[in-house]
Amino acid sequence: MSKIDKLVKKLKSRHIYIGASKIQGVGLFAIKDTPKHTVIHRFKPELGSFSIKDLETFLSPEVVRDLKMKYYYEDDVIAMDMNLENDHILYLNHSEDSNVRYDDGYYVTTKDIKKGDEILLNWLEGGYHPKLRNFDELNEKI
């Protein structure tokens, strides 16, 4: 399987997409109905290198420009993380009424999620966000 075929296959198997959030600006949403205990994402960088000319064959000039701005490239080769959903996780909003949990690199649903529902994580549970563990103490100091 070629690198391009592998990339397209990964994109087609996605569980999440970025959309407008009622909680905070932008968030992650379910592409399809997703049952409880489903792994919707695994944070595991997969580095790959691609010919920019090959990418230009399949992608718009704007997307190629964005990739070149984001990832290292030299001459006609760009090195990038093929697990593009790693970037999506940056848009994961916090809620104490979360529907996913983080467990050692895996994002797992804790309840059934309907297509279009926002994916939410309680950042304060399970050591997900170490800098927020003492959130109450930080608020008291402010």
In this prediction, residue 127 carries a pLDDT of: 62
Are the C-beta atoms of residues 116 and 28 closer than 8 Å to each other? no
Q: Determine the Cα–Cα distance for residues 100 and 138; give it in Å rounded to an integer.
A: 25
In this prediction, residue 119 carries a pLDDT of: 95
- Which has more confidence, 121 or 134? 121
**Same domain flag for 63 and 23:** no
What mean pLDDT value characterizes the chain? 81
**Same domain flag for 11 and 64:** no
Nearest to 42 by CA among 18, 17, 15, 20: 15
> Does residue 55 carry a pLDDT above 50?
yes
**Same domain flag for 96 and 126:** yes
The total of structural domains in the chain comes to: 2
> Does residue 88 carry a pLDDT above 80?
no
**Same domain flag for 136 and 91:** yes
In this prediction, residue 140 carries a pLDDT of: 56
**Same domain flag for 75 and 124:** no
Domain span including residue 74: 47-81
In this prediction, residue 86 carries a pLDDT of: 64
Residues 54-65, mean pLDDT to the nearest whole number: 86
**Same domain flag for 87 and 32:** yes
Q: Residue 95 sits in a domain of what CATH number?
A: 2.170.270.10
**Same domain flag for 135 and 95:** yes
- pLDDT band at residue 60 using 50, 70 and 90 as cut-offs: confident
**Same domain flag for 21 and 91:** yes
Residues 27-41, mean pLDDT to the nearest whole number: 91
